[in-house]
């Protein structure tokens, strides 16, 4: 079976911290298997290796806090990290959700 790994480069090089408790975040693997004909199935993976397979598995990664067990996608955590850098505090107010906070500067 084909397996495709997808990890943003930034995940390898950046240290990220939980907005809830300030603990350094760990990565967690998320595996998903697609069968041919299923929604989301692609005939060609980015590696080009999965043509003509019946099924394949993608492995993606999210951040998971080892302390408070929050999970967050890389994209959301990037937004959180910007706010953490700006405020100088790793722990952000509970009401501050990345979707609401991260827009400034990136609006087109």
Binding site for Zn ion (CB under 5 A): 18, 20-21, 23, 65, 67-68
| Smallest gap from residue 7 Cβ to Zn ion (A) | 21
Q: How far is the CB of 32 from Zn ion (least distance, A)?
A: 25
Q: Spell 24-49 as b/e; 16+ CB within 10 A means b.
A: ebeeeeeeeebeeeeeeeeeebeeee
- Minimal CA–CA distance to 60: which of 17, 36, 28? 28
Closest CB to Zn ion among residues 58, 77: 77
The smaller minimum CB distance to Zn ion, of residues 8 and 22, is found at: 22
Q: Which is nearer to Zn ion, 50 or 79 (by Cβ)?
A: 79
Q: Closest approach of Cβ 17 to Zn ion, in Å? A: 8
Closest CA to 6 of 52, 76, 62, 53: 62
User: Closest separation between CB of residue 67 and Zn ion, Å?
Assistant: 5
CA-wise closest residue to 14 among 84, 103, 68, 106:
84
Is the Cβ of residue 16 or residue 50 nearer to Zn ion in the bound state? 16
């Amino acid at each position: 079976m084909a397996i495709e790994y997808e990890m943003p480069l930034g995940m390898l090089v950046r240290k990220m911290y939980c907005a809830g408790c300030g603990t350094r975040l760990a990565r967690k693997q998320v595996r998903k298997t697609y069968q041919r004909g299923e929604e989301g199935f692609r005939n060609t993976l980015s590696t080009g290796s999965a043509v003509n397979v019946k099924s394949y598995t993608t492995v993606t990664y999210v951040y998971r806090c080892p302390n408070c067990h929050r999970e967050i996608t890389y994209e959301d955590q990037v937004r959180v990290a910007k706010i953490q850098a700006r405020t100088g505090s790793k722990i952000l107010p509970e009401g501050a959700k990345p979707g609401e906070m991260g827009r400034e500067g990136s609006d087109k």
